Structure 1
């Protein structure tokens, strides 16, 4: 990373220190605080509900600052996680300096950092979300010699009073500009703040979903990120959701990441794109631009554990009202490179070798393009109810599992589809494919059947798996989707219950 790149970085800590966040030290943090009149420090960490928690410190002297940066602080784990008993609940939270950012919302100048959890013996908490993801990455590296990169497509609805001017066409909001899309400026401000907090954004746009109901306008938006190391990808998604909610609250708007908020309208997903890297280079494609055997092997692993992945990425009953046919959401375990009804999609790559920029800008000199790093594959089942760390850890495990399967390439071949599987003429192909779970209860069954794969290499602790199974089964929703189908009143009550999930 050169100095010009660092100077333009939206994160004020990076721009000041002139070094990438991964190289931040304790002395760097102290120097930034001293030179920017930072008066408070926030420790932030996800609880068992997936939402960010905050611990505030007022900085009065350097000795105290050094103490909290070195020793962290003690917290009550039983109030954060269901799997921790009150009789032995002390945990420690230690800040990760690489996550430092200036809080864009704080009235008092504040530096915030994400934290990791440790137990009473000073060991990483085995069932902590961020530690589970770190273990998944370690196992991937040890097994394959490859790094696992990820990035999210964060979809959400913004709700505001209807203006009754320049009305958008119902369910036709994709990439709409103002004034037909009313919340584009809000999304732009969110993107700016997320970047200040360290998020690496690819782009933002309005999405398909838009409608009016009871005098309110609902507009769907998406912010998509760049692929980065999976541990960092989970951090930035967690911060992004926090930013979007905070800014909405301050501007008198409401925001929901809920997977489904009404029938017949687009639901919100959280598609996760992945790529495999070795020695700093992508191994996703062959020299001719075709998908590599490494990529196919990883996809095969995802096919084998796909039903269980819903236990991490689809955390409440409304998730399964989104996973229905003809809604651009997957229902079957398959993959492909064109249609959007597949579970794992390989988006169109930049493989033509043509300098398209020169074609539209004739004054430019022709360039030799290396676009290999742009190729990813995406898992389309998750939604905003997901536990971000569990989900990305589960995807990392699934991809690693492919390399431990003797028949991975055969599985990849059998589950590949290049047609719309819901068309009548493709019924025979559809019959060969497994279906995704249709409830939290069914998702729990799928996880229990595959738990040994997720517990292998010590990635997911048995306590975490048991906790997830208990949470999912507590919804008692095995037949819920069928039971309340067409009952708008009951569906609305369910949506309201989980409106601010994740």
Structure 2
């Protein structure tokens, strides 16, 4: 939004800004924030930054936890949810050192920056443009607890089919059947106006919306797809989009979750990532004579992404809940393969994207529990490795499979490698296969170690808790 300190202050004076808020992403992928009165924002703030405790972000040990963040004023936006007029911007994390502080290499935003710089250094491309699809549920009620003697959750959505027989209030019917919400219209589509307000809010904050619609999930699943942009910029915008979407819903008495699988038996929510590479403004993924109009570079990129997919999923699908979505029968991929116009493949080539500038493919397994800076960077590094190593996806047996994979005979399905079925499996793959991430110093080895350690703890925490279904299955044995 701004290029200079003076531009920031002119805006603050013009718009009567009273507070400046700084948002930093922690290791797992949540925004943290700190605010100062506008009068405390000085030119030195952009040089020396503001101190904070990095150990609470998952970055640093307690004994070396003093760090600083330096605001990136180009990311500044007016926060529409604060009572006191507030300007918000992202902060980049730095290590305190003499004579000069230096960029913290484990800061996820620094990883994305280095990934883009490494891409340029290879000569393959100078820009990766991505277009995310945001899928999420909007509920009217959620409660949950995990106590030693009581574990469970309760979710409600007025439009859900389970409320079709409710007599606790005036019931007008028009509920949405199980997995029956795709492009449903009014009066069932009670979230249309909220989606439109969300979309307009994204537009007002520099996130152009391609379209929005009700998704498959009957109890309030929504998709908002946004236009393409450079990789790191789209990671910034993904964090901003989640912030705006969740807070607008909360303001209107609704609750939003980006969990991949909040409801058993219903459609899960993904974060499909469309991608293509450009060099000097020209697309390099297009060849009218190639498979589905894809160039050889695009095919190698696909080969690299599929070969490294199990390890990549440790970043793109980093929650235990992620793997409850990646199961057969829900339009979510379970097999490591590619195809055209096939939503059962982990990489889908959209048949409608025909022009050179539009030619691309999408990675369908990822979900919004990811840290977008790390997830997008891992995707890019895997694809670049494919181009460098000339990994042919056809020769590797990854397809193309232009059929419904779920309908293949068992002997044919057995020939296709499967995605990890749990977070632990993905972490195992990352432990064995991460050299492609270390190229150019993009992913520090210590960051990968910290990530694996943190995610192992999450998996153990879930696996150690007795599940309600276990009582149903085993209590009487």
- Residues 1:76 and 2:71 are matched in the alignment: no
- Residues 1:88 and 2:64 are matched in the alignment: yes
Instruction: Kindly report which structure 2 residues correspond to 1:411-490, keeping only aligned pairs within 5 A, or say none.
Output: 411=395, 414-425=398-409, 427-476=410-459
Matched residue, 2:300: 297
Would the alpha carbon gap of residues 90 and 248 (structure 1) be closer, same or farther in structure 2, given more than 3 Å must change?
same
**How far apart are 1:194 and its partner, in Å?**
2.0
Instruction: Kindly report which structure 2 residues correspond to 1:182-201, keeping only aligned pairs within 5 A, or say none.
Output: 182-201=190-209
Asked if the contact 1:248–1:254 (Cα under 8 Å) also holds between the matched residues in 2, the reply is yes
Asked if the contact 1:439–1:479 (Cα under 8 Å) also holds between the matched residues in 2, the reply is no
The one of 339, 361, 368 aligned to 1:384:
368
Cα distance in 2 for partners of 1:124, 1:389 equals 16
Equivalent position SS for 1:66: coil
Cα distance in 2 for partners of 1:129, 1:244 equals 22
TM-score by length of 1: 0.82
Cα distance in 1 for partners of 2:7, 2:392 equals 46
Asked if the contact 2:125–2:277 (Cα under 8 Å) also holds between the matched residues in 1, the reply is no
Asked if the contact 2:288–2:294 (Cα under 8 Å) also holds between the matched residues in 1, the reply is no
Cα distance in 1 for partners of 2:50, 2:379 equals 31
Instruction: Kindly report which structure 2 residues correspond to 1:334-345, keeping only aligned pairs within 5 A, or say none.
Output: 334-345=337-348
Matched residue, 1:125: 104
Instruction: Kindly report which structure 2 residues correspond to 1:133-152, keeping only aligned pairs within 5 A, or say none.
Output: 133-143=112-122, 144-152=124-132
Q: Deviations over 1:142-165 (max 9, x none)?
A: 111331111211110001252733
Residue range with higher mean Cα deviation, 239-248 or 195-204: 195-204
Matched residue, 1:116: 92
Q: Deviations over 1:269-313 (max 9, x none)?
A: 111111111111222212467111121111111011101111002
Cα distance in 1 for partners of 2:417, 2:129 equals 27
TM-score by length of 2: 0.86
Matched residue, 2:181: 173
Q: Deviations over 1:92-111 (max 9, x none)?
A: 11111221111111222211
Q: Deviations over 1:397-434 (max 9, x none)?
A: 01111112144365466432111222244x44422221
**How far apart are 1:224 and its partner, in Å?**
0.9
Equivalent position SS for 2:215: strand
Q: Deviations over 1:16-48 (max 9, x none)?
A: xxxxx4x72322222212222211111111112
Cα distance in 2 for partners of 1:192, 1:476 equals 38
Cα distance in 1 for partners of 2:358, 2:376 equals 19
Asked if the contact 1:297–1:402 (Cα under 8 Å) also holds between the matched residues in 2, the reply is yes
Aligned residues: 438
The one of 42, 46, 55 aligned to 1:65:
42
**How far apart are 1:348 and its partner, in Å?**
1.7
Matched residue, 2:81: 105
Instruction: Kindly report which structure 2 residues correspond to 1:271-290, keeping only aligned pairs within 5 A, or say none.
Output: 271-287=272-288, 290=293
Cα distance in 2 for partners of 1:347, 1:190 equals 26
- Residues 1:333 and 2:336 are matched in the alignment: yes
The one of 42, 56, 64 aligned to 2:21:
42
The one of 135, 147, 158 aligned to 1:162:
158
Q: Deviations over 1:114-134 (max 9, x none)?
A: 111111121111111111111
Would the alpha carbon gap of residues 350 and 388 (structure 1) be closer, same or farther in structure 2, given more than 3 Å must change?
closer
Asked if the contact 1:270–1:384 (Cα under 8 Å) also holds between the matched residues in 2, the reply is yes
Aligned-residue CA RMSD in angstroms? Answer: 2.4
Cα distance in 2 for partners of 1:344, 1:178 equals 33
Equivalent position SS for 1:454: helix
Instruction: Kindly report which structure 2 residues correspond to 1:355-374, keeping only aligned pairs within 5 A, or say none.
Output: 371-374=355-358
Cα distance in 2 for partners of 1:102, 1:27 equals 17
Structure 2 segments unaligned to the other structure (5+ residues): 141-156, 160-170
